[in-house]
Amino acid sequence: MFGLTTGDNIKNLTDEEILARVQVEPWLFTAILERYQAAFLRKSKSIIFNEQDAEEVVQDAFTKIYINAHKFEVREGAKFSSWAYTILVNTALTRYQKCVKEGKRTLLLDPEYMELIGDIREHSGFDHDKDAIERILVNLPGHFARVLRLHYLEHWSHKDIANESGESVGAIKARIHRAKAEFRKEAKNQGV
């Protein structure tokens, strides 16, 4: 039906074309692996901070992409790379959260993020880097917690978040502003 058999022709296929054909020609998925593996590993390491865990996250993300290939829809402004990076980041954040809960990781905080919670050390007796931030983020709506994590913990720019989510930079800035307000409100509710 499709008739491609040489490696040179595979290079000419877009990511979206490969994904559409992977159900019938699973061997095409190797092109996706080759195109994204190094970048995925770098991104995963920036979240996980452990080579072995980062490699497992990348492997899990590629598995999810392959299994869910039929769910990807080509839409204007939405590219395969954005969809794939969303899967990777969500997989990495899930792994990271698990490690935090198990006490294997601590959060690295951006100075601006620290402003959100005020001077916790003076007012509380717990380790704010792990306990307070996680308790607050867990109680926020998912879209607010996610944008705060990406912007402040992962140091993503507004533009990067917008590209990844398919939204405008203005929408991301507005969401971050609302998320910060909700974060402060939740911190106050928790007495932090």
What pLDDT is recorded for position 32?
A: 95
What pLDDT is recorded for position 2?
A: 45
What pLDDT is recorded for position 122?
A: 40
* In a shared domain, residues 63 and 128: no
* In a shared domain, residues 139 and 150: yes
pLDDT tens-digit map of 57-85: 999 999 999 998 988 887 776 788 888 98
Q: What is the DSSP string of 104-152?
A: S------HHHHHHH--HHHH-SS-IIIIIHHHHHHTS-HHHHHHHIIII
Q: Which residues of the chain have pLDDT under 50?
A: 1-6, 8, 107-110, 113-114, 117-128
* In a shared domain, residues 17 and 76: yes
* In a shared domain, residues 85 and 124: no
What pLDDT is recorded for position 125?
A: 37
What pLDDT is recorded for position 109?
A: 44
* In a shared domain, residues 135 and 81: no
- What distance in Å separates the CA atoms of residue 40 and residue 48, rounded to the nearest whole number? 12
* In a shared domain, residues 29 and 66: yes
- Which of 83, 105, 127 is where one domain is finished? 105
What pLDDT is recorded for position 131?
A: 59
What pLDDT is recorded for position 126?
A: 35
The whole domain housing 159 covers: 107-192
* In a shared domain, residues 41 and 123: no
By CB atoms closer than 10 A (0-12, 13-18, 19+), residue 142 is exposed
- Which of 105, 140, 169 is where one domain is finished? 105
* In a shared domain, residues 97 and 112: no
* In a shared domain, residues 161 and 97: no
- Which of 67, 90, 105 is where one domain is finished? 105
* In a shared domain, residues 20 and 99: yes
Helix or strand or coil: residue 78? strand
